[in-house]
Amino acid sequence: TPPGVTKIELEHNDDLKTDNVAYVSRPQEEKIRILLITNDDAAFLKAALTSGGDVTLDTTKLPLIPDNTYDIYILHEINKKNIITGNIEQLKSKVEQGATIIIHAQRDLNSIDFKGLLPLSVSGRGGFAVLAQSQHTSFTKDIDFGSVASYLTTQKEKGHSILTADNSSIIQYNTFGDGKVLYYGIMDDANEFHFSPSYPLFWVNLIRFL
């Protein structure tokens, strides 16, 4: 069925004309627009994001954030030295107006001021832990996240904790204004999840959910 409204009509001219015409409606196909903000190569993440085929992906490095409209913004391995006044405020405004932001964990995350966007606070560093789902969702169903060699310990979580390591949240989801914020705490250098076949499946399902 093509996108939009399709009219189906029988050419047979009979006494009951009412059932000779039918309409079938299907939503227009629109690509999900994502802006990946990173100072890293992020090859695995880029491949995973585009594997579903329904995404338009742009990338940029701080301090440049295009003023275009995106559905989802992803912060991945950003260099805090490149953050200038107004960068975080610009992203915060986009989220308040209905966009989604995904904040990827990195070693110096607690030294970056997210102006209240981050739905938790980083309290330290944890060692080896097995990742456990605290809530089952459409984007974590049948996904084996494995374990991590290290992770950021968290507290003061807001919203919904989806994945945990001991008592710390690894995936935390919250609303912010008219938009959404998701903390993704699996660091690539401390986990082999990005090598797993489940990795692109997780990101495709997550993006569609958001």
User: Confidence band (pLDDT; 50, 70, 90) for 27?
Assistant: low
* 160 band by pLDDT with thresholds 50, 70 and 90: very high
pLDDT at residue 5, as a whole number: 77
Query: Poorest-confidence range of 4-13, 71-80, 182-191?
Result: 4-13
Give the ranges where the chain is alpha helix by DSSP (H).
43-50, 87-96, 198-209
Q: Are strands 179-184 and 100-104 parallel, antiparallel or unpaired?
A: parallel
What's the token pair of residue 113?
Answer: 């001021």
Q: What digits encode the pLDDT tens for the residues 61-73?
A: 999 999 999 999 9
pLDDT digits (tens, 9 = 90+) for 98-115: 999 999 999 999 999 999
Question: Which residues pair with residue 37 across a beta bridge?
Answer: 60, 75
pLDDT at position 28: 60
